Structure 1
Amino acid sequence: MTVVRALARPLLSAIFVVQGAQAIRDPESHVAKAKPVADRLVPMMKKVAPAQVGDRIPESTVNLVRLNGAAQVLGGLALASGKGRRVGAVLLAGSLVPTTLAGHSFWQESDKPARAAQRIQFLKNLGLMGGLLLAAVDTEGQPGLAWRATHGAKVAKRETKRGARLAKRETKQLARFARREAKLAARTAKAELPFS
């Protein structure tokens, strides 16, 4: 791991760990802002999710806030430690969507200074989302799964062609050898025949 990655991951995840822990300890302070978003998202998620998952989605806004906080703490720790960093980054990006919609809906503010402050926070969260998406696709300089699959297919195709050319060459050599042997056998047989 490079020095930049060793510094960037904990810096990026720190806000999620702190805010997530605060949401777990004191969810009531977030409930008022989270309720309108939760009231729209929960029924939609229950429709989309498979039955066994949909039945487990909490309907209580307090529990949803705690669940989102737990996701942020777990994702932040995974990203900061490097153990499951890509999954952690995806988890954080997913938890950031309802957090941003609930906490920084600047378009609903009528007061100009409040609207400007909420817009800044909204854009800050978009910036964090961008960083998380970069962290989610960071392979630490190693080839990614898509590249490996494409590269593996190209190598397999090249090796198949190579094997086919080799087989064709050997077949031609064997055919020449068989013709030579047949001619030699025919000459030998002709030479051994008694003259009549």
Structure 2
Amino acid sequence: MKPVRTVARALLAAVFVRGGLDAYKNPDRYLDGAQAVTDRWGPTLNSVGLPTDPRSLARATGVVQMVGGVLLGTNTAVGPAALALAGTLVPSTLAGRDVWSPEPGDTTGRPILDRPELLKNLGLLGGLLLAAVDTEGKPGVAWRTGHLAEHAQDTVKRAAHTTAKETKRAAHLTAKEAKRAADDARRAARTATREAKFAVKSTPVAGVLTR
């Protein structure tokens, strides 16, 4: 593994390990964001077995971020860890009041994408998605699938070419054998004709000799 990849994953993981630890130890600091998530997706969280209490959700999110950050930072199960961390960002980004609601005293009417918190979450999400699909220089699933498909097509083409060649060869041999049989038949017919003529010529002589 290249050192750049290791350092990049460690830096990305550090954000989540630190944030997850803080959310687990001080869940009250994250109650506003957790409350927004439970208010909007409470039934969905309950259906998948996640806590709907804001404090419990904040602490559970902290645990996931700590564990996922450690796995990502140590290059262990990078894909699943990155996806799990991304999963903790999406609800808070979509439902977070500090992201979508106007900031206190902000009368500039600045666009949503100027909000630092939103841009930070989107940047982290992009980094996690890159980590999730990173194959570390090895062929990815899509490439391997395409390569196998091309190999199968080449195999079919070679088999078809070989079959056509063998069929043509068999047809050529059959025609050659048929010609040889016809030649043999003609030779046999000529031989039989000569023998018949010889027999006819020899018949009077045989009759004279027997008198």
TM-score range, shorter chain: 0.7 to 0.9
Offset at 1:173? 0.8
The equivalent residue for 1:140 is: 136
The equivalent residue for 1:169 is: 165
> How far apart, in 2, do the equivalents of 1:112 and 1:59 lie?
32
Contact 2:20/2:63, CA 8 A, preserved across alignment:
yes
The equivalent residue for 2:209 is: none
The equivalent residue for 1:9 is: 9
Q: 5 Å matches for 1:122-161? A: 122-161=118-157
**Letter paired with 1:129:** L
Q: Mean Cα displacement is larger for which, 36-45 or 135-144?
A: 36-45
Q: Mean Cα displacement is larger for which, 140-149 or 103-112?
A: 103-112
**Letter paired with 1:78:** L
Q: State yes or no: 1:62 paired with 2:55.
A: yes
Contact 2:33/2:92, CA 8 A, preserved across alignment:
no
Change in Cα spacing, 1:55 to 1:135, as seen in structure 2 (3 Å) is closer
Unaligned 5+ runs, structure 1: 47-53
TM-score after normalising by structure 2: 0.77
> How far apart, in 2, do the equivalents of 1:189 and 1:73 lie?
93
**Letter paired with 1:87:** P
Q: Mean Cα displacement is larger for which, 183-192 or 6-15?
A: 183-192
Deviations 1:111-161 (A, max 9, x none): 239x99x92222122111111111122111222112221222122112211
The equivalent residue for 1:36 is: 36
Change in Cα spacing, 1:81 to 1:55, as seen in structure 2 (3 Å) is closer
> SS of the counterpart of 1:105?
helix
> How far apart, in 2, do the equivalents of 1:30 and 1:141 lie?
38
> How far apart, in 1, do the equivalents of 2:3 and 2:48 lie?
44
TM-score after normalising by structure 1: 0.83
Contact 2:99/2:117, CA 8 A, preserved across alignment:
no
Change in Cα spacing, 1:11 to 1:103, as seen in structure 2 (3 Å) is farther
Contact 2:33/2:98, CA 8 A, preserved across alignment:
no
Aligned positions, number:
187
> SS of the counterpart of 1:59?
coil
What is the root-mean-square deviation of aligned Cα atoms in Å? Answer: 2.5
Q: State yes or no: 1:195 paired with 2:192.
A: yes
> How far apart, in 2, do the equivalents of 1:177 and 1:79 lie?
67
Deviations 1:95-126 (A, max 9, x none): 1123334373253322239x99x922221221
> SS of the counterpart of 1:170?
helix
Report which of the two structures shows the higher radius of gyration computed on alpha carbons.
2
Offset at 1:190? 4.0
